[in-house]
Protein backbone atom coordinates (compact mmCIF):
# COMPACT_ATOMS: atom_id res chain seq x y z
CA UNK A 1 0.00 0.00 0.00
CA UNK A 2 1.45 3.41 -0.92
CA UNK A 3 2.88 5.40 2.00
CA UNK A 4 1.03 8.54 0.86
CA UNK A 5 -1.44 9.06 -1.97
CA UNK A 6 -1.36 12.32 -3.92
CA UNK A 7 -4.44 13.73 -5.63
CA UNK A 8 -5.45 12.26 -8.99
CA UNK A 9 -4.23 15.30 -10.95
CA UNK A 10 -0.74 14.82 -9.49
CA UNK A 11 -0.50 11.22 -10.73
CA UNK A 12 0.96 10.86 -14.22
CA UNK A 13 0.06 8.01 -16.56
CA UNK A 14 3.10 6.39 -18.18
CA UNK A 15 4.04 7.48 -21.72
CA UNK A 16 4.86 4.76 -24.27
CA UNK A 17 5.67 6.81 -27.36
CA UNK A 18 3.67 7.74 -30.46
CA UNK A 19 3.25 4.30 -32.07
CA UNK A 20 -0.24 2.82 -32.21
CA UNK A 21 0.86 0.11 -29.79
CA UNK A 22 2.28 2.72 -27.40
CA UNK A 23 -0.84 4.87 -27.55
CA UNK A 24 -2.92 1.72 -26.98
CA UNK A 25 -1.06 1.11 -23.71
CA UNK A 26 -1.73 4.68 -22.61
CA UNK A 27 -5.44 4.53 -23.53
CA UNK A 28 -5.82 1.29 -21.57
CA UNK A 29 -4.30 2.93 -18.48
CA UNK A 30 -6.49 5.99 -18.95
CA UNK A 31 -9.41 3.57 -18.91
CA UNK A 32 -8.18 2.08 -15.63
CA UNK A 33 -7.82 5.57 -14.17
CA UNK A 34 -11.35 6.59 -15.23
CA UNK A 35 -12.87 3.31 -14.03
CA UNK A 36 -11.12 2.84 -10.70
CA UNK A 37 -9.28 6.09 -10.08
CA UNK A 38 -5.57 6.74 -10.43
CA UNK A 39 -5.04 6.33 -6.71
CA UNK A 40 -5.91 2.63 -6.77
CA UNK A 41 -3.38 2.14 -9.58
CA UNK A 42 -0.58 3.09 -7.15
CA UNK A 43 -1.18 -0.03 -5.05
CA UNK A 44 1.48 -2.58 -5.96
CA UNK A 45 2.21 -6.23 -5.28
CA UNK A 46 4.54 -8.94 -6.53
CA UNK A 47 3.51 -11.14 -9.46
CA UNK A 48 5.20 -14.51 -8.99
CA UNK A 49 5.35 -16.39 -12.28
CA UNK A 50 5.56 -20.18 -12.00
CA UNK A 51 5.74 -23.06 -14.44
CA UNK A 52 6.82 -26.67 -14.43
CA UNK A 53 9.09 -28.08 -17.18
CA UNK A 54 7.72 -30.04 -20.13
CA UNK A 55 9.55 -33.15 -18.88
CA UNK A 56 7.48 -32.99 -15.67
CA UNK A 57 4.21 -32.80 -17.60
CA UNK A 58 5.28 -35.52 -20.06
CA UNK A 59 6.05 -37.89 -17.18
CA UNK A 60 2.75 -37.10 -15.43
CA UNK A 61 0.82 -37.43 -18.71
CA UNK A 62 2.26 -40.93 -19.21
CA UNK A 63 1.84 -41.91 -15.57
CA UNK A 64 -1.85 -40.96 -15.62
CA UNK A 65 -2.45 -42.61 -19.02
CA UNK A 66 -4.27 -39.45 -20.09
CA UNK A 67 -6.19 -39.56 -23.35
CA UNK A 68 -5.80 -35.81 -23.81
CA UNK A 69 -3.13 -34.42 -26.07
CA UNK A 70 -0.07 -33.33 -24.10
CA UNK A 71 -0.86 -29.67 -24.80
CA UNK A 72 -4.46 -29.99 -23.55
CA UNK A 73 -3.29 -32.04 -20.59
CA UNK A 74 -0.83 -29.33 -19.53
CA UNK A 75 -3.51 -26.64 -19.77
CA UNK A 76 -6.00 -28.63 -17.73
CA UNK A 77 -3.37 -29.36 -15.09
CA UNK A 78 -2.58 -25.66 -14.77
CA UNK A 79 -6.27 -25.06 -14.09
CA UNK A 80 -6.05 -27.95 -11.61
CA UNK A 81 -3.20 -26.03 -9.96
CA UNK A 82 -5.13 -22.74 -9.97
CA UNK A 83 -8.16 -24.27 -8.23
CA UNK A 84 -5.95 -25.56 -5.44
CA UNK A 85 -4.16 -22.22 -5.15
CA UNK A 86 -7.56 -20.61 -4.64
CA UNK A 87 -8.41 -23.17 -1.96
CA UNK A 88 -5.10 -22.95 -0.14
CA UNK A 89 -4.18 -19.39 -1.07
CA UNK A 90 -5.29 -17.93 2.28
CA UNK A 91 -1.90 -19.08 3.58
CA UNK A 92 -0.05 -16.52 1.42
CA UNK A 93 -1.40 -13.35 3.08
CA UNK A 94 -1.08 -14.95 6.50
CA UNK A 95 2.58 -15.89 6.05
CA UNK A 96 3.73 -13.05 3.80
CA UNK A 97 1.17 -10.25 4.07
CA UNK A 98 2.88 -6.99 4.96
CA UNK A 99 0.18 -4.32 4.67
CA UNK A 100 -1.75 -4.13 7.97
CA UNK A 101 -1.95 -0.31 7.82
CA UNK A 102 -2.52 2.53 5.37
CA UNK A 103 -1.87 6.24 5.29
CA UNK A 104 -5.01 8.28 5.94
CA UNK A 105 -4.67 9.91 2.52
CA UNK A 106 -5.84 6.62 1.03
CA UNK A 107 -9.31 6.86 2.59
CA UNK A 108 -10.22 10.55 2.37
CA UNK A 109 -14.01 11.07 2.53
CA UNK A 110 -14.66 7.31 2.50
CA UNK A 111 -16.49 5.11 4.98
CA UNK A 112 -14.31 2.25 6.20
CA UNK A 113 -13.94 -0.21 9.10
CA UNK A 114 -10.33 0.69 9.96
CA UNK A 115 -9.18 1.87 13.36
CA UNK A 116 -7.04 4.95 13.98
CA UNK A 117 -3.38 4.19 14.70
CA UNK A 118 -2.21 7.79 14.89
CA UNK A 119 -3.12 11.11 13.27
CA UNK A 120 -1.73 9.93 9.92
CA UNK A 121 -2.49 6.20 9.88
CA UNK A 122 -5.40 3.76 9.79
CA UNK A 123 -4.97 0.05 10.55
CA UNK A 124 -6.60 -3.16 11.72
CA UNK A 125 -4.89 -4.78 14.72
CA UNK A 126 -4.99 -8.33 13.33
CA UNK A 127 -4.76 -7.54 9.59
CA UNK A 128 -2.21 -9.27 7.38
CA UNK A 129 -2.81 -7.68 3.96
CA UNK A 130 -5.18 -4.76 3.50
CA UNK A 131 -3.98 -4.77 -0.12
CA UNK A 132 -5.78 -8.08 -0.63
CA UNK A 133 -8.89 -7.06 1.28
CA UNK A 134 -11.99 -5.46 -0.17
CA UNK A 135 -10.31 -2.10 0.52
CA UNK A 136 -7.36 -2.92 -1.73
CA UNK A 137 -6.89 -3.47 -5.44
CA UNK A 138 -10.25 -4.87 -6.47
CA UNK A 139 -13.25 -4.34 -8.75
CA UNK A 140 -16.87 -4.61 -7.62
CA UNK A 141 -17.97 -4.70 -11.25
CA UNK A 142 -15.80 -7.73 -12.07
CA UNK A 143 -17.22 -9.61 -9.09
CA UNK A 144 -20.57 -9.64 -10.91
CA UNK A 145 -18.98 -11.70 -13.69
CA UNK A 146 -17.25 -14.65 -12.01
CA UNK A 147 -14.69 -16.56 -14.04
CA UNK A 148 -14.61 -20.35 -13.95
CA UNK A 149 -11.31 -22.18 -13.55
CA UNK A 150 -12.81 -25.65 -14.00
CA UNK A 151 -11.50 -25.97 -17.56
CA UNK A 152 -9.80 -23.97 -20.27
CA UNK A 153 -13.01 -23.79 -22.28
CA UNK A 154 -15.09 -22.50 -19.35
CA UNK A 155 -12.41 -19.97 -18.44
CA UNK A 156 -12.14 -18.61 -21.99
CA UNK A 157 -15.92 -18.47 -22.36
CA UNK A 158 -16.33 -16.45 -19.16
CA UNK A 159 -13.37 -14.22 -20.01
CA UNK A 160 -14.74 -13.50 -23.48
CA UNK A 161 -18.15 -12.71 -21.99
CA UNK A 162 -16.56 -10.06 -19.75
CA UNK A 163 -14.57 -8.67 -22.70
CA UNK A 164 -17.65 -8.27 -24.90
CA UNK A 165 -20.41 -7.34 -22.41
CA UNK A 166 -21.03 -3.58 -22.14
CA UNK A 167 -20.94 -2.32 -18.56
CA UNK A 168 -23.49 0.25 -17.43
CA UNK A 169 -20.77 1.64 -15.15
CA UNK A 170 -18.41 2.44 -18.03
CA UNK A 171 -20.44 3.06 -21.19
CA UNK A 172 -20.87 6.74 -20.23
CA UNK A 173 -17.14 7.29 -20.72
CA UNK A 174 -16.06 8.80 -24.04
CA UNK A 175 -14.09 6.84 -26.62
CA UNK A 176 -10.92 8.74 -25.72
CA UNK A 177 -11.31 7.85 -22.02
CA UNK A 178 -10.99 4.06 -22.37
CA UNK A 179 -10.42 1.36 -24.99
CA UNK A 180 -14.07 0.25 -24.90
CA UNK A 181 -17.08 0.13 -22.58
CA UNK A 182 -16.96 -3.59 -21.77
CA UNK A 183 -16.65 -5.03 -18.27
CA UNK A 184 -12.99 -5.67 -19.18
CA UNK A 185 -11.12 -3.52 -21.68
CA UNK A 186 -8.40 -6.17 -22.05
CA UNK A 187 -7.59 -9.60 -20.64
CA UNK A 188 -5.02 -8.05 -18.27
CA UNK A 189 -7.74 -6.08 -16.52
CA UNK A 190 -9.06 -9.30 -14.96
CA UNK A 191 -8.08 -9.08 -11.28
CA UNK A 192 -7.67 -12.02 -8.93
CA UNK A 193 -5.13 -13.80 -6.79
CA UNK A 194 -3.96 -16.15 -9.57
CA UNK A 195 -4.24 -16.20 -13.37
CA UNK A 196 -3.30 -18.55 -16.24
CA UNK A 197 -0.84 -16.95 -18.66
CA UNK A 198 0.81 -17.38 -22.05
CA UNK A 199 3.42 -15.35 -23.92
CA UNK A 200 2.66 -14.72 -27.60
CA UNK A 201 3.61 -11.56 -29.51
CA UNK A 202 1.35 -12.36 -32.46
CA UNK A 203 -2.01 -13.12 -30.82
CA UNK A 204 -4.01 -11.40 -28.10
CA UNK A 205 -4.02 -13.54 -24.92
CA UNK A 206 -7.54 -14.95 -25.39
CA UNK A 207 -6.69 -16.41 -28.80
CA UNK A 208 -3.19 -17.48 -27.85
CA UNK A 209 -4.55 -19.39 -24.85
CA UNK A 210 -7.29 -20.93 -26.97
CA UNK A 211 -4.97 -22.27 -29.65
CA UNK A 212 -1.74 -22.85 -27.73
CA UNK A 213 -2.84 -23.53 -24.15
CA UNK A 214 -1.39 -22.35 -20.84
CA UNK A 215 2.35 -21.84 -20.33
CA UNK A 216 2.52 -20.71 -16.71
CA UNK A 217 0.52 -19.24 -13.85
CA UNK A 218 0.84 -15.83 -12.24
CA UNK A 219 0.43 -15.71 -8.45
CA UNK A 220 -0.74 -12.19 -7.60
CA UNK A 221 -1.37 -12.40 -3.83
CA UNK A 222 2.15 -11.55 -2.63
CA UNK A 223 2.65 -8.27 -0.84
CA UNK A 224 5.82 -6.32 -1.53
CA UNK A 225 7.48 -6.78 1.88
CA UNK A 226 8.93 -3.44 3.13
CA UNK A 227 11.17 -5.37 5.52
CA UNK A 228 13.14 -6.99 2.68
CA UNK A 229 15.56 -5.17 0.34
CA UNK A 230 13.95 -6.72 -2.75
CA UNK A 231 10.44 -7.14 -1.34
CA UNK A 232 10.85 -10.92 -1.49
CA UNK A 233 13.58 -13.35 -0.44
CA UNK A 234 15.09 -16.52 -1.86
CA UNK A 235 13.83 -18.45 1.17
CA UNK A 236 10.30 -17.26 0.45
CA UNK A 237 10.71 -18.36 -3.16
CA UNK A 238 11.65 -21.88 -2.06
CA UNK A 239 8.47 -22.06 -0.01
CA UNK A 240 6.34 -20.78 -2.89
CA UNK A 241 7.80 -23.31 -5.31
CA UNK A 242 6.99 -26.15 -2.93
CA UNK A 243 3.51 -24.70 -2.32
CA UNK A 244 2.71 -24.38 -6.02
CA UNK A 245 4.12 -27.77 -6.94
CA UNK A 246 2.06 -29.36 -4.16
CA UNK A 247 -1.06 -27.67 -5.55
CA UNK A 248 -0.25 -29.02 -9.00
CA UNK A 249 -0.26 -32.60 -7.68
CA UNK A 250 -2.85 -32.65 -4.87
CA UNK A 251 -6.44 -33.66 -5.74
CA UNK A 252 -8.36 -30.72 -7.22
CA UNK A 253 -12.10 -31.25 -7.79
CA UNK A 254 -14.04 -28.64 -9.74
CA UNK A 255 -15.03 -25.52 -7.85
CA UNK A 256 -18.74 -25.10 -7.11
CA UNK A 257 -20.31 -21.69 -6.67
CA UNK A 258 -20.73 -22.37 -2.94
CA UNK A 259 -17.03 -23.11 -2.59
CA UNK A 260 -16.10 -19.98 -4.53
CA UNK A 261 -18.13 -17.87 -2.08
CA UNK A 262 -16.50 -19.68 0.85
CA UNK A 263 -13.01 -19.06 -0.58
CA UNK A 264 -13.74 -15.32 -0.91
CA UNK A 265 -14.95 -15.16 2.71
CA UNK A 266 -11.85 -17.02 3.87
CA UNK A 267 -9.47 -14.70 2.04
CA UNK A 268 -11.17 -11.58 3.41
CA UNK A 269 -11.02 -12.98 6.94
CA UNK A 270 -7.31 -13.74 6.71
CA UNK A 271 -6.56 -10.38 5.07
CA UNK A 272 -8.33 -8.38 7.79
CA UNK A 273 -8.16 -10.61 10.91
CA UNK A 274 -5.59 -13.30 10.10
CA UNK A 275 -3.48 -12.92 13.25
CA UNK A 276 -6.43 -12.96 15.66
CA UNK A 277 -5.95 -15.63 18.32
CA UNK A 278 -8.11 -18.71 17.65
CA UNK A 279 -9.46 -17.38 14.34
CA UNK A 280 -11.82 -19.88 12.69
CA UNK A 281 -11.81 -20.18 8.90
CA UNK A 282 -14.80 -21.50 6.92
CA UNK A 283 -14.21 -24.75 5.01
CA UNK A 284 -16.42 -27.33 3.32
CA UNK A 285 -16.04 -29.40 6.49
CA UNK A 286 -17.11 -26.54 8.76
CA UNK A 287 -15.11 -23.93 10.64
CA UNK A 288 -11.52 -24.91 11.52
CA UNK A 289 -8.84 -22.99 13.40
CA UNK A 290 -6.43 -21.19 11.10
CA UNK A 291 -3.32 -22.61 12.72
CA UNK A 292 -4.66 -26.18 12.48
CA UNK A 293 -5.32 -25.70 8.77
CA UNK A 294 -1.83 -24.27 8.42
CA UNK A 295 -0.09 -27.20 10.11
CA UNK A 296 -2.12 -29.64 8.01
CA UNK A 297 -1.16 -27.88 4.77
CA UNK A 298 2.55 -27.65 5.62
CA UNK A 299 2.64 -31.34 6.60
CA UNK A 300 1.10 -32.24 3.23
CA UNK A 301 3.68 -30.10 1.41
CA UNK A 302 6.69 -31.72 3.09
CA UNK A 303 7.06 -34.74 0.73
CA UNK A 304 7.02 -32.36 -2.25
CA UNK A 305 9.65 -30.19 -0.57
CA UNK A 306 11.85 -33.26 -0.02
CA UNK A 307 11.46 -34.23 -3.68
CA UNK A 308 12.44 -30.72 -4.82
CA UNK A 309 15.42 -30.65 -2.47
CA UNK A 310 16.63 -33.96 -3.90
CA UNK A 311 16.19 -32.71 -7.45
CA UNK A 312 18.05 -29.43 -6.87
CA UNK A 313 20.55 -30.72 -4.29
CA UNK A 314 19.50 -28.29 -1.59
CA UNK A 315 17.72 -28.20 1.75
CA UNK A 316 16.00 -24.93 0.94
CA UNK A 317 12.48 -26.21 0.33
CA UNK A 318 12.17 -28.21 3.56
CA UNK A 319 13.85 -25.41 5.48
CA UNK A 320 11.42 -22.96 3.91
CA UNK A 321 8.45 -24.92 5.23
CA UNK A 322 9.92 -25.20 8.73
CA UNK A 323 10.71 -21.48 8.70
CA UNK A 324 7.08 -20.68 7.97
CA UNK A 325 5.69 -23.28 10.39
CA UNK A 326 6.73 -21.22 13.41
CA UNK A 327 4.46 -18.37 12.26
CA UNK A 328 1.47 -20.61 13.04
CA UNK A 329 2.84 -20.99 16.56
CA UNK A 330 3.59 -17.29 17.02
CA UNK A 331 1.82 -14.82 14.71
CA UNK A 332 4.14 -12.05 15.94
CA UNK A 333 6.72 -13.46 13.53
CA UNK A 334 4.64 -12.58 10.47
CA UNK A 335 5.67 -9.51 8.39
CA UNK A 336 2.36 -7.79 9.13
CA UNK A 337 2.92 -8.10 12.88
CA UNK A 338 6.54 -6.96 12.51
CA UNK A 339 5.45 -3.85 10.58
CA UNK A 340 3.01 -2.88 13.33
CA UNK A 341 5.64 -3.60 15.99
CA UNK A 342 8.07 -1.18 14.31
CA UNK A 343 5.38 1.48 14.14
CA UNK A 344 4.39 1.01 17.79
CA UNK A 345 7.87 0.62 19.29
CA UNK A 346 9.36 3.56 17.41
CA UNK A 347 6.15 5.63 17.47
CA UNK A 348 6.15 5.99 13.68
CA UNK A 349 3.28 6.52 11.28
CA UNK A 350 2.89 4.09 8.39
CA UNK A 351 4.43 6.72 6.11
CA UNK A 352 7.49 7.28 8.30
CA UNK A 353 8.02 3.56 8.97
CA UNK A 354 8.01 2.66 5.28
CA UNK A 355 10.17 5.67 4.47
CA UNK A 356 12.78 4.67 7.06
CA UNK A 357 12.88 1.09 5.75
CA UNK A 358 13.15 2.36 2.18
CA UNK A 359 16.11 4.57 3.04
CA UNK A 360 17.96 1.58 4.53
CA UNK A 361 17.29 -0.53 1.44
CA UNK A 362 18.23 2.33 -0.90
CA UNK A 363 21.61 2.69 0.81
CA UNK A 364 22.17 -1.07 0.50
CA UNK A 365 21.40 -1.04 -3.24
CA UNK A 366 23.46 2.10 -3.75
CA UNK A 367 26.49 0.43 -2.18
CA UNK A 368 26.13 -2.73 -4.27
CA UNK A 369 28.59 -3.14 -7.14
CA UNK A 370 27.14 -3.98 -10.54
CA UNK A 371 29.29 -6.20 -12.72
CA UNK A 372 30.59 -4.40 -15.84
CA UNK A 373 29.38 -7.19 -18.12
CA UNK A 374 25.94 -7.10 -16.55
CA UNK A 375 25.75 -3.32 -16.91
CA UNK A 376 26.82 -3.69 -20.53
CA UNK A 377 24.00 -6.15 -21.15
CA UNK A 378 21.47 -3.84 -19.52
CA UNK A 379 22.69 -0.89 -21.62
CA UNK A 380 22.43 -3.00 -24.77
CA UNK A 381 18.85 -3.97 -23.94
CA UNK A 382 17.92 -0.32 -23.45
CA UNK A 383 19.40 0.59 -26.83
CA UNK A 384 17.63 -2.27 -28.60
CA UNK A 385 14.33 -1.32 -26.99
CA UNK A 386 14.61 2.32 -28.06
CA UNK A 387 15.55 1.32 -31.62
CA UNK A 388 12.50 -0.96 -31.77
CA UNK A 389 10.30 1.86 -30.48
CA UNK A 390 11.56 4.25 -33.18
CA UNK A 391 10.97 1.61 -35.86
CA UNK A 392 7.40 1.06 -34.69
CA UNK A 393 6.72 4.78 -34.70
CA UNK A 394 8.09 5.16 -38.23
CA UNK A 395 6.28 2.18 -39.77
CA UNK A 396 2.61 2.70 -38.90
CA UNK A 397 0.21 1.41 -41.54
CA UNK A 398 -3.11 2.64 -40.09
CA UNK A 399 -4.55 5.43 -37.98
CA UNK A 400 -4.90 5.02 -34.23
CA UNK A 401 -8.71 4.92 -34.52
CA UNK A 402 -8.42 2.05 -37.02
CA UNK A 403 -5.93 0.33 -34.73
CA UNK A 404 -8.32 0.63 -31.76
CA UNK A 405 -11.23 -0.70 -33.83
CA UNK A 406 -9.16 -3.71 -34.88
CA UNK A 407 -8.01 -4.37 -31.32
CA UNK A 408 -11.55 -4.13 -29.97
CA UNK A 409 -12.87 -6.75 -32.39
CA UNK A 410 -13.23 -10.06 -30.61
CA UNK A 411 -14.42 -13.41 -31.95
CA UNK A 412 -15.44 -15.55 -29.00
CA UNK A 413 -15.69 -18.94 -30.68
CA UNK A 414 -12.56 -20.68 -29.51
CA UNK A 415 -12.75 -23.15 -32.40
CA UNK A 416 -12.42 -20.46 -35.09
CA UNK A 417 -8.83 -20.34 -36.33
CA UNK A 418 -8.89 -16.74 -37.53
CA UNK A 419 -7.36 -14.65 -34.76
CA UNK A 420 -6.91 -10.95 -34.40
CA UNK A 421 -3.36 -9.85 -33.67
3 state SS for 121-133: EEECCCCCEHHHC
Rounded distance between C-alpha atoms, residue 96 and residue 336, angstroms? 8
Rounded distance between C-alpha atoms, residue 373 and residue 391, angstroms? 27
Strands (E), 52-193: 101-103, 115-118, 121-123
Query: Is this model's pTM higher than 0.75 or not?
Result: yes
- CA-based torsion, 203, 207, 208, 211: positive or negative: negative
Q: Walk me through the domains of the chain, giving residue ranges and CATH numbers.
A: 45-138+191-338 (3.30.590.20)
Is residue 184 within 8 A of residue 199, CB to CB? The reply is: no
- For residue 341, pLDDT over 50 is answered with yes
Q: Is 154 helix (H, G, I), strand (E, B) or coil?
A: helix
Using alpha carbons, select from 195, 186, 192 the residue that is nearest to residue 32.
Answer: 186
Is residue 419 within 8 A of residue 207, CB to CB? The reply is: yes
Secondary structure letter of residue 396 according to DSSP:
-
234-245 pLDDT, tens digit each: 999 999 999 999
Give start and end residues of each alpha helix (H) in 213-333.
234-249, 257-273, 290-312, 316-329
Rounded distance between C-alpha atoms, residue 410 and residue 420, angstroms? 7
In the structure, what pLDDT confidence band is assigned to residue 418 with cuts at 50, 70 and 90?
very low
199-253 pLDDT, tens digit each: 998 888 999 999 999 999 999 999 999 999 999 999 999 999 999 999 999 999 9
Using alpha carbons, select from 56, 32, 83, 53 the residue that is nearest to residue 191.
Answer: 32
Amino acid sequence: MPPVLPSDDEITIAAYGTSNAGQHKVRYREGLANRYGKRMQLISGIHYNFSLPDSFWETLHTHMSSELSLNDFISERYFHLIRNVLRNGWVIPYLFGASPAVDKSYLVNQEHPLATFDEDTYYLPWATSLRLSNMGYSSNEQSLYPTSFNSKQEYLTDLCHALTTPSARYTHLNADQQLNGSVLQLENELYGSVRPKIVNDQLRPLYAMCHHGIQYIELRSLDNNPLLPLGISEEQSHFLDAFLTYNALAPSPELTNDERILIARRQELVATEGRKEGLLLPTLQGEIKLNNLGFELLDAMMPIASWLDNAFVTEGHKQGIERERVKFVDSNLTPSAQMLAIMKDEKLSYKLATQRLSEVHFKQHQDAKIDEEEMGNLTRLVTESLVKQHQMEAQQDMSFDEFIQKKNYLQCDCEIEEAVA
